[in-house]
Amino acid sequence: MDYHIARNGQQLGVFSEAEMQPGISTGRFLPDDLFWAEGMPDWQPLNSRFAVAVAPPVFSSAAAAAGSFNPYAAPLTNVVSSAMLPQLNLASRGVRLGARLLDGFIVLAVMALPTIPGFVAIAQADSAGKLENDFPVYAMYWFGAAFLASCGLLVWNAMWLAQHGQTIGKRMLGIRVVRFPSGLPAGAAKAFWLRAVVNFVISNIVPLYGIVDACFIFSENKRCVHDLIAETTVVVADDVK
């Protein structure tokens, strides 16, 4: 298992399980450093899972006399605040719109270009009066090519979303999908299945959903409804580790 380590709002990197305990023993990792691994709902301090040797706290006699320290009190819970998480450089609304338009144009091009020769062949056969008796079978080949090209584009975008949080349009404009608010890679479940597939299904069931979804981009954190569903956001790619 790999662990993402963060300290003071900055990610230190990704480390294997074999590196964790030696890193803690040598002081490379601190007890209050935060860690996250695949499947965890949120960041947690290292001392919540790993054995960390911590020196006992030193209290002044004056503080003890004043009763400010209660040795029988329950230990305080480590709370991860938003201030401890990495600050995300959110992609602008204009760039996100541009990426969406680019993706739409690419889909149309992939679907339309192979079908043009097919429609031309059908039109020529129709003008020659041969369409009913001699349908140009090779036109179907072009339509089949358009279908296969569309499937290939879908698989390509799905793989990029799973691995990099990017479609072709997002990659061209230098933005990507990450988890909110940690900034960690979104992964296939969030970036593709929840953010794309589930959102597509909802948009075809709920009236006016697409309009409402798009309007949420004007919220303070620029997260659309599909971002809220998938617990994601879109950031500038260069600022994502």
pLDDT in tens, 9-24: 777 888 888 888 888 8
Residues 165 and 57 in one domain: no
Q: Who contacts 6 (Cβ-Cβ below 8 Å, separation ≥6)? A: 12, 33, 34, 35, 36, 43, 84, 85, 86
Domain boundary among 58, 84, 110: 84
Supply the pLDDT for residue 238. 72
Q: Indicate the average pLDDT of the chain.
A: 84
Beta bridge partners, 11, equal 6
Asked whether the predicted pLDDT for residue 62 surpasses 70, the reply is no
Please give the Cα distance from 7 to 23 (Å, whole number).
14
- Measured in degrees and rounded to the nearest 5, phi and psi for residue 21 equal -65, -45
Residue-range definition of the domain harbouring residue 50:
2-84
Residues 101 and 6 in one domain: no
Supply the pLDDT for residue 54. 52
Q: Model confidence over 64-118: pLDDT tens digits? A: 444 444 554 444 444 444 444 557 899 999 999 999 999 999 999 999 999 999 9
Asked whether the predicted pLDDT for residue 63 surpasses 90, the reply is no
Residues 149 and 211 in one domain: yes
CATH code of the domain covering residue 70: 3.30.1490
**Residue, of 155 and 6, whose pLDDT is higher:** 155
Supply the pLDDT for residue 70. 53
Query: Of the given ranges (1-15, 113-127, 200-214), which has the lowest mean pLDDT?
Result: 1-15
| pTM check: above 0.85 | no
Residues 30 and 147 in one domain: no
Residues 6 and 79 in one domain: yes
Q: Model confidence over 40-55: pLDDT tens digits? A: 877 888 888 887 655 4
Please give the Cα distance from 172 to 167 (Å, whole number).
9
Residues 64 and 144 in one domain: no
Domain boundary among 50, 84, 118: 84
Residue type, 107: V
Average pLDDT over residues 175-179: 94
Instruction: Provide the angle, in degrees to the nearest 10, between the axes of the packed helices 93-127 and 137-164.
Output: 170
